[in-house]
Amino acid sequence: MPDAEVDLATPRSIHLVGVGGAGISAIAVILATMGHRVTGVDVTETKAWPALRAAGVEPTVVTAEELFASADAVGAEVVAHSTAFPPTPEDRSRAEVTGRQLVDRATILAAICAARPTVAVSGTHGKTSTTAMLATLLHGVGADPSFLIGSVPPALGEAARWAGPDGVFVVEADESDGSFLQLGAATVVVTNIDEDHLEFWGDLDAIEAGFDRFVAAASTAVVGLDDPRTVGAVDVRASRVAGAHGAITVGEAPGARYLVHDVVVDRLTTTFELDVDGTSIGPVRIGTPGRHHSRNAAAAIAAAASLGVDPRAAADALAAYTGVARRFSVAGTEAGVTVVDDYAHNPGKLRALVASAAEAGWGRVLVVFQPQRYSRTRDQWRDFGDALTAADLVAVTEVYSAGEPPVEGVSGRLILGALLDERPWANAAWTPTLDDAVAWVVANARPDDLVLTVGAGDVHLAGRPILDGLARRAS
C-alpha cells in the first residue's frame, strides 16, 4: 500500500535516509532548490556529498542503527528513505509517536512531480539515456526544463535541476519495484518492454501489465515498438500497450509514427534518418554510439514534439548530447586501445551494447562482463551468454552480489558456459577477479581494439589499471 501523500506546497523540514545514493541525493538537491530545509544521513560519505552541500543540504554519516532516529536531532517533519534502507516496525512506530511522516522514495518523488507538469521516462532499457536526451534537447531549445536523471549528462553538468515555473519536470521513472506507477505523470515514455527485475514482477506478463497501467494513467504516451532482441521487428507486447491507449509510436519497426532508418554508427557517434508520419525531418546526429540510441533519440524527439517543440528543432538540439556517466563512458586510450565503461546489467542492455560496439568500426571488441546479483544470474544466465556472442573476445568475472547472499550453484561460470554452448569456438575466459580481468585484457588487447568493462558493480574500477597496464606493455 503506498504511503500517504506528502504536501510540499509550503516549506517543510525534510530528512532523507540514504542521502548518499544517486536517486535520493538528486531528490535532496531538488527539494532544497524548492525552498525546503533538507537534511540527510547515510552510513558512509559518498561522491554525492559536494553537490549536496553546494545545494544547501546538510548530509551526515551515522551508524545503521541511527539512520531513522537521527531525524529527532534535526526536528524533521517528513522522513523519506531510499530502498536500500527500509524502516523497521520500530522505526515506523517511533515516527507515529512523534507525529513525523515516514515515506519511501517513490512517495517523495511523486510529491515533487505534483508540483510541475511531469514527463516520466521508463522502460526496461534506455530510460536513463532517453531522460537525459529529452532534458538536453528541451534545454537546448530554451524550454527551461527541470529534471531528475539517474546519471549526469556532460551537456547539462548535473543529474538534477529545479528550474523556473514555466518548464516541465522530466524524470527517470523506475519500473524495477513498480514505483513508476505512483508518479502521476501527464506524459510518459516507454522505451521498451523486456524481462528484468523478476524478483519483483515474477514474469514478463506482469511486466507488460505494469507498463500498461503506466501508459493508461497518462494523457499522452510515447512507446517504442522495437523488439529489444531483433532489429526492425515489432515487439508484440509494446504494440499491444501502444494500441490499447493510442500512444505515439517510435522505432525502426514498420508502422512507427516516428520511423528510424539508415542508422550509421561510427566509433563514438550515431547518425540516422527520421521520418515523422511519413515526412522526413532530415538526419539526426548524437554524440554517443549505438543503434539503440537512435531509438532513444527518436523517443525523446517525439516526447518533445508532444509538448509543442518543433521536431526538427528538437533534432538539432540533440546534437549537444554526448551520453551520460557509465553509459559508454570513455575511460581513455592507450597503445591504440580504447577502453570504455558501461552500466549494462541485464541481457537486453548487454545485447544492445555489444551489438552497437561491434558495428561501430573498431578492429575488435573485447568485453569484460561482471554479472550483478545472484538472483539475476540464476534467472538469466543463458540470455547473458547469448548477449555476449557478438563480441570478439569475452572475459566473465564472478558475480557482484549487490548485498545478496550467494545462491548455491550460481556463478559467473554459468554465463561463460552458456556463451561456449552457443559458440564453442568463442575466445572466452574465466577471470573471477578484477585483477584477473585486467591481466587478461593487457595480455590480449591490440591496437584498434575496443575494450568494454560492463556491469552495475565495481567493474568500472578496472578501466584505469587496464590503461596503465597497456602503457607499461608498450614502454
Model confidence over 93-131: pLDDT tens digits?
999 999 999 999 999 999 999 999 999 999 988 899 999
CATH topology of domain 329-474: Protein-Tyrosine Phosphatase; Chain A (3.90.190)
Mean pLDDT of the chain: 93
d(CA 313, CA 175): 30
- Residue 84 is predicted with a pLDDT of 86
Alpha carbon distances (Å) from 468 to 331, 432, 437, 463: 11, 20, 14, 9
- Give 177's pLDDT tier (boundaries 50, 70, 90): confident
- Residue 58 is predicted with a pLDDT of 87
**pTM beyond 0.75, yes or no:** yes
d(CA 368, CA 434): 9
d(CA 210, CA 200): 11
- Residue 2 is predicted with a pLDDT of 59
- Residue 213 is predicted with a pLDDT of 96
Phi/psi zone of residue 277: left (φ > 0), alpha (ψ -120 to 50 degrees), beta? left
- Residue 248 is predicted with a pLDDT of 98
Return the closest-CA partner of residue 327 out of 125, 464, 175, 30: 125
Report the C-alpha dihedral over residues 358, 360, 365, 369, rounded to 10 degrees.
-80
Average pLDDT over residues 336-361: 89
Does the pLDDT value for residue 293 go beyond 70? yes
Measured CA angle at 285 (ends 283, 289), to 5 deg: 130
Between these two residues, 176 and 296, which has the higher pLDDT value?
Answer: 296
Does the pLDDT value for residue 295 go beyond 70? yes
Task: Let me know if 163 is exposed, middle or buried by CB neighbors in 10 A (0-12, 13-18, 19+).
Answer: middle
CB contact at 8 A, 276 and 311: yes
Average pLDDT over residues 19-24: 89
Beta bridge partners, 427, equal 393
d(CA 66, CA 88): 12
Does the pLDDT value for residue 231 go beyond 80? no
Alpha carbon distances (Å) from 144 to 155, 162, 307, 458: 14, 9, 13, 35
Does the pLDDT value for residue 1 go beyond 70? no
Q: Over the stretch 387-398, which tens digit does the pLDDT of each residue have?
A: 999 999 999 999
d(CA 455, CA 310): 37
**Amino acid type, 221:** A
Between these two residues, 197 and 185, which has the higher pLDDT value?
Answer: 185
Average pLDDT over residues 79-99: 93
Average pLDDT over residues 347-356: 88
User: Considering only 14-23, 176-185, 298-307, which range has the smallest mean pLDDT?
Assistant: 176-185
H-state helical runs in 38-83: 49-54, 71-74
Measured CA angle at 119 (ends 117, 120), to 5 deg: 130
Residues in CB range of 335: below 8 A, 6 or more apart: 445, 447, 470, 471, 473, 474
Q: Is 338 helix (H, G, I), strand (E, B) or coil?
A: strand
Residues in CB range of 47: below 8 A, 6 or more apart: none
The domains of the chain are located at 13-103, 116-320, 329-474
What's the distance, CA 301 to chain centroid? 19
CATH 3.40.1190.10 describes domain 116-320: yes
Question: CATH number of 13-103: 3.40.50.720, 3.90.1510.10, 3.30.460.80, 3.40.109.10?
Answer: 3.40.50.720
d(CA 190, CA 213): 12
- Residue 448 is predicted with a pLDDT of 96
- Residue 403 is predicted with a pLDDT of 82
What's the distance, CA 387 to chain centroid? 19
- Give 162's pLDDT tier (boundaries 50, 70, 90): very high
